[in-house]
Structure 1
Amino acid sequence: MWAALWRHRDVVELLVSRGADVSLVDVYGNNILHWACMGGDRTTVEFVLSLDGVDVNSRGGVGRTPVMWAAWRGHRDVVELLVSRGADVSLVDGGGNNILHLACMGGDRKTVEFVLSLDAVDVNSRGGVGMTPVMWAAWRGHRDVVELLVSRGADVSLVDGGGNNILHLACMGGDRKTVESVLSLDAVDVNARNNFGETAADVARGWGHRQLSDLLLSRGTQ
């Protein structure tokens, strides 16, 4: 498992030849394929996939499949490989997040573009606490991914389970460029309040992003 994570394919092959049991899982439920996909070395993943008894759609920690871990880590080539080998991209993890949510958390634009090209996941799908992919991208400060998703039809007027819109979430994340990009969208109400009665400026202050709060106040936040 360690060799797979650290991208040492030759060591993985050596250990397998010496009797390493690739059916074992760690305390979180992750098997060797999950770890290889976290590591992101395509040749290691290819070797592991060639072994009998390794399920491409096996569930690991927090209910994630190998392709979910690869997407979260931004390993686009591994995601593509797994999809070609039968990875089911319609599945969700234990928190209700699908592969697009996880790719957007990770923030690799090329990975997100590939997942979107599969036409298997709704760009406005709801995941953990009601968050959509563009909400995750905004919170994590991945401005280029936010802009990509908006260009592909992401609905920026939606709110999550706490009543936070994309601007609230961008302010939690604290990336100024992402906040400025969100502010440029006509559908975002700068004065919208979440379920706690907080505006985006309130959220920015609460998360310690004073400069963002000042920026929002300069844009007309009440």
Structure 2
Amino acid sequence: MLMDNYFKAAQHGDLVYFKTLNTNEGGKLLTLNTQYDKSGDTALHIAARCGHLTLVQHLIDSGADIETSNLDGKRPLHEAAQAGQVSCVQCLLKAGAQVDSLKRADWTPLMLACTKDNEDTIRLLMKFGANVHLRNKDGWTPFHIACREGHLNIVQLLFYHDDSVWKTASKNKRTPLHTAALHGCVAVVSFLLDKGNYPPDSKDSAGTTPLMDAIRSGHNHVAEALISRLKASVYEEDNFGLQPLHLAAQSGCLTSVKFLVERLNTKVDSRSSKGFTALIVAAKEGQLSVVSYLVSSGSDVNLTDNKGRTALHIAAGAQHSDTCEFLLQHGAVIKADNSGTTPDMLTRKPEVCRLFQNYQTLGK
């Protein structure tokens, strides 16, 4: 109970309590650096996070350790920066807190501040020398994080502090443009296209381009900007042989499929180097609404991949009975692939087996 009261006092900014703390209460001595068992927080962590400036200053003046880490590796400066408590950030920095201290996974206070629209906090951290080029364990910089969150004012603030911040990639080779495109941050994407010099189809370690990220997430305004301004290709392939249309079909993003086919006149049966079509990919994932749209848009249900497999093979192997039924009703032929395997030979689930048995019994 005593411990709980101690940390509640910090949470409520109870300065009177902490001015009398040096007494031995209930047989247990609590100090300014006592850490909470569940989180490892000290009173200074909590006061900084909650924005209790007067208490923060008192704790510092009384000798609280400003560099103690909690169980997440956060120091009081991390907490204040993430919460946007700019006055507490300033107090801690003036007291000598390390501006680029690292928490777990190598996140700095600046990185945490960039997860929210904490413009004043970010300005202050950079004024005290925060390094905008430091990377966390995944290779993300503060600029990456700001681009993910989509706060254009923060992205601009970092860029105009150092206009080389866009020239970065994470450990898996993802650029800030990838990040902004994936999260649909159209204003940030537009700014990056204005200020950065990105190639049309920069790829991460999986071969994914920013356009692919935008398309499979349904961010068609972003996709349109990448195509019109960056000349990104709708026929580029990732490491798995999938083009943007294939990825939209795979994720079941019908709006992106329609955008590519109807707005951009992407070939509905565009085949990759591995012979994949959007219909084959959609059939594998059981994306029936996409399958239906593609067929109604003229997709050939009997096209094969490089192994001679049709969409029916793929759907049967994935045990998607509704997709198999739709394909059979729209002209899919039961034929052998390059290994001599027919779609019905791939069925395991009783309902899929019965579907093929009934179809063959009817002689269709």
> In the aligned structure 2, how far is the partner of 1:30 from the partner of 1:116?
26
> In the aligned structure 1, how far is the partner of 2:47 from the partner of 2:242?
47
Measure how far apart 1:173 and its partner are: 3.3
Letter in 1 for 2:183: R
Q: Structure 1 residues 121 and 30, CA, compared in 2 at 3 Å: closer, same or farther?
A: farther
Q: Deviations over 1:111-169 (max 9, x none)?
A: 11111112263423211410111111111111000000100024142111111111111
Q: Deviations over 1:8-51 (max 9, x none)?
A: 43454455567654322122211111111111121121122222
> In the aligned structure 1, how far is the partner of 2:165 from the partner of 2:62?
45
SS in structure 1 at match of 2:204: coil
> Which residue is 2:172 aligned to?
129
Which of these residues, 12, 26, 48, is aligned with residue 4 of structure 1? 48
> In the aligned structure 2, how far is the partner of 1:31 from the partner of 1:104?
25
SS in structure 2 at match of 1:22: coil
> Which residue is 2:120 aligned to?
77
> Which residue is 2:93 aligned to?
49
Query: How much identity, in percent, do the aligned residues show?
Result: 27
Unaligned runs of 5+ in 2: 1-44, 271-364
> Which residue is 2:212 aligned to?
168
Q: Structure 1 residues 128 and 205, CA, compared in 2 at 3 Å: closer, same or farther?
A: farther
- Residues 163-202 of structure 1 aligned to structure 2 (within 5 Å): 163-202=207-246
Matched, 1:211 2:250: no
Q: What TM-score results when the alignment is normalised by the length of structure 2?
A: 0.56
Letter in 2 for 1:61: R
RMSD between aligned residues: 2.1
Matched, 1:93 2:172: no
Q: Deviations over 1:36-89 (max 9, x none)?
A: 11111211211222224x200111121011111112323122111111111122
Q: Structure 1 residues 106 and 80, CA, compared in 2 at 3 Å: closer, same or farther?
A: same
Q: What TM-score results when the alignment is normalised by the length of structure 1?
A: 0.89
Which of these residues, 83, 91, 116, is aligned with residue 39 of structure 1? 83
SS in structure 2 at match of 1:72: coil
Letter in 1 for 2:130: A
Structure 1: 4+ residue segments shifted above 6 A: none
SS in structure 2 at match of 1:157: coil
> Which residue is 1:220 aligned to?
265
Q: For CA contacts below 8 A with separation 6 or more, give which structure has more relative contact order.
A: 1
- Tell whether the 8 Å contact from 2:117 to 2:154 is kept in structure 1 after alignment: yes
Q: Structure 1 residues 154 and 100, CA, compared in 2 at 3 Å: closer, same or farther?
A: farther
Q: Pick which of 208-217 and 110-119 moved more.
A: 208-217
> In the aligned structure 2, how far is the partner of 1:209 from the partner of 1:62?
33
Q: Deviations over 1:164-215 (max 9, x none)?
A: 1111111243333323322323520012111111111222233332211221
Q: How many residue pairs end up in the alignment?
A: 221
> In the aligned structure 2, how far is the partner of 1:139 from the partner of 1:202?
16
Q: Structure 1 residues 72 and 172, CA, compared in 2 at 3 Å: closer, same or farther?
A: farther
Which of these residues, 155, 178, 184, is aligned with residue 112 of structure 1? 155
Q: Pick which of 203-212 and 35-44 moved more.
A: 203-212
Matched, 1:158 2:196: no
Q: Structure 1 residues 199 and 10, CA, compared in 2 at 3 Å: closer, same or farther?
A: farther
